[in-house]
Amino acid sequence: MPTTDACNREVPSWLQNVFAGRDTIQSWIVRLKILDAELTEWDRHVFGADIETENIRKLLHSAITLARNGMPYQQCWCDPRELDCPLCKGKRWTSAGQALKVLNQQQQQQSLG
Spell out the per-residue pLDDT of the chain, length 113, in tens. Answer: 788 898 899 998 989 989 988 889 999 999 999 999 998 888 788 877 788 888 999 999 999 999 999 999 999 888 877 778 888 888 889 998 888 887 788 788 888 86
CA trace torsion 21, 22, 28, 29 (10° rounding): 160
pLDDT at 113: 67
Q: Measuring CA to CA, which residue among 82, 18, 85, 32 is closest to residue 62?
A: 32
- CA–CA separation, 87 vs 73, rounded Å? 13
pLDDT at 25: 92
Its pTM stands at: 0.74
- CA–CA separation, 89 vs 78, rounded Å? 10
The residue ranges of every structural domain in the chain are 13-112
Task: Compute the chain's Rg from CA coordinates.
Answer: 19
